[in-house]
Structure 1
Amino acid sequence: MSSQIQSPIKRITVPDIRARKGGEPIVVLTAYDAPTAALMDAHCDILLVGDSVGMAVHGLTSTVGVTLEMMILHGQAVMRGAKRALVVIDMPFGSYEAGLETAYANAVRVLKETGAQAVKVESGPTAPATIDYLVKRGVPVMGHVGLLPQSINIDGSFKAKGREEGERARILQSARDTADAGAFAVVIEGVAEGLAREITEAIDKPTIGIGASAACDGQVLVSSDMLGLFDWTPKFVRKYADLRGVIDQAVATYADDVRARRFPAEVETYFSKKPVST
């Protein structure tokens, strides 16, 4: 391979993540654009281009309305900013459920058009067969069990899962099936600590928790939530910043300066060049 096309920074790979099972916790955040991805890149092992972009960026009420084109667009942006982290892109609702060949075609399109390293699918009843089909054809897949945001129209709300024994057993089996099908890691969302611990101990692939306790092999949060861009966040989110307040104050100050003609000042203004004397 020509040295001209090799990146000077070694990017984290799928085998690197798979090898982290039971080791140093894996750090994951969602990313939707190039400048934010560039800031997160040095600190995160995985950047997830989540279909949460529909709610966090586009103002949708759920992830159901997110399209493949939206995921590709945001995936391309994140890949321009990230040089080190493994980049995983969500397969949106409707892009992988219709059949194995459709799922493969859409997944290949995502990887080819973005340059990302893997895709993520929510692990419903048909997911293990899909994961197996994709992995055997060269598409790395991250699974997702527990609370499944793409199933909002069936569940009716975003609520914790696995509190009843029957549902607990079903989610545990789904995680096992997902790992056995070839997923290199499994996101566990919105389940009790005991179930998250049981899943993590039961499968040989790293688990990434979101609202699933510290028992998992790593953690992921929606970046907009942990950065404080919204008034309300789920119980499991810790706000590490108050960007909503920072942005509000900055915009208010800008507006005051414009109305008072304090902005732009002389230092921010271009002037005609003085004629050169002869």
Structure 2
Amino acid sequence: MPKPGTTRTSTTRTSTTRTSTTRTSTSRSRTRTKVIASVVLVAAAATAVFAFTLDSGSDSPGAKSEDPAVTEEGPGVPEAVPELVGLARRDKGDALATGPADAPVVMIEYSDFQCPYCGRFARETEKELIRKYVDKGVLRIEWRNFPIFGDESEQAAKASWAAGQQKKFWEFHDVAYEKQRKRNSGEFSKDNLVAMAKKAGVPDLDRFRDDLASDKADAAVDKDRKEGYGLGVSSTPAFLINGRPVLGAQPTDMFTRTIEAAERAAAEKDHKKKTDDEKTDKKTDDNKAGDGR
């Protein structure tokens, strides 16, 4: 977030040229988007839509537990925030995603491989969501590396990206999360990461080692982490489901209700667009017919 006075100073200095004014306007727009996103997540936590203690599924210090809020979609189902929907990348070549790029619902997941609640989500809930929604083309899951628990979290994140370069991210993901591991105890040492990659079926381990140590791995992890921090994410796991923020390894029912609410909203939006397009086409045809008389 810019320091107080930065935008004003920039506006004053650039008011003399159209080009600079345009840049300032674009900067303001981006700043507003970041502010909105951050406020949404922070406010959500404050109102207990997403604020839970460690025992209820979010790994961060100082979290408080309160009853979940009730929205129009039902108890605990968060409202969609349009400004957050555009964070879905929908890149067909994204090795850290599963599900069709044009799925009606995209769930972005910010996670750390040393987070026990991320592991619980991976072992218990995620597999059910894949079977029930991803395999049927309803849901796409986009992973974001969000290492916040030290060097081993950082190395594990880069290792997962390296496995993804050989199309084995999700296999590595499953191996890394197959059991709860003691944090920063050597579980994610370089040798153990290579062993995990081997178990995950990564075919070229020499390439894996090179990718793990590459600047590209650093950049990829840093990009995901900055995106999360820019939104105000401070604990893991954290999710955005078509712009609906959810924090913590919540019960599977919470995710199914949120996904289905997002699917209904997407269907309604598509129906409205189709109806509007048909009206526009009819109006165009009527105008053409009138011109031909």
TM norm structure 2: 0.27
Give the number of the structure with larger relative contact order, counting CA–CA contacts within 8 Å between residues 6 or more apart: 2
More helix by share: 2
